[in-house]
């Protein structure tokens, strides 16, 4: 059985997080559940998936939720997909877990 921590991998620059984005949601929320099958953390943003607006919103909500600058959050895969890999520089898996997963 997988856990939400399976969506987070630590690397030398920080962490890589697998997320599943719902654009055009009623409100922004991160984390917004966990998809065990895809091993991805849910992320809801109110911004539409048009002209990169949802991607900018994803970066903003992850930055706010982790306390790292927006410049430290990068979408490394899935720019045009709801399935994304996001790198958060300057944070450890343990620290991210403490910030986000304790909210569940």
Composition of the chain by helix, strand, coil, percent to 5: 30, 35, 35
Which segments within 5-69 are labelled E, that is strand?
Answer: 8-11, 14-23, 34-35, 40-45
pLDDT band at 101 (very low <50, low <70, confident <90, very high): low
Q: What's the CA gap between 75 and 33, in Å, rounded? A: 19
Mean pLDDT, range 31-59, rounded to an integer: 94
Q: What's the CA gap between 31 and 99, in Å, rounded? A: 10
Q: What is the CATH number of the domain that holds 37?
A: 3.30.1200.10
Mean pLDDT, range 13-26, rounded to an integer: 95
In a domain, 102, yes or no: no
Q: What pTM, to 2 d.p., does this model score?
A: 0.89
In a domain, 104, yes or no: no
In a domain, 59, yes or no: yes
Q: What's the CA gap between 64 and 8, in Å, rounded? A: 18
């Amino acid at each position: 059985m997988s856990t939400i921590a399976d969506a987070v991998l630590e690397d030398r620059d920080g962490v890589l997080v697998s997320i599943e984005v719902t654009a055009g949601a009623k409100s922004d929320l991160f984390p917004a559940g966990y998809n065990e099958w895809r091993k991805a953390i849910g992320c809801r943003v109110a911004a539409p998936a048009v002209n990169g607006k949802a991607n900018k919103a994803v970066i903003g909500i992850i930055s706010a939720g982790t306390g790292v600058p927006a410049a430290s959050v990068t979408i490394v895969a899935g720019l045009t997909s709801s399935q994304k890999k996001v790198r958060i520089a300057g944070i450890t898996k343990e620290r991210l877990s403490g910030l986000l997963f304790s909210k569940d």
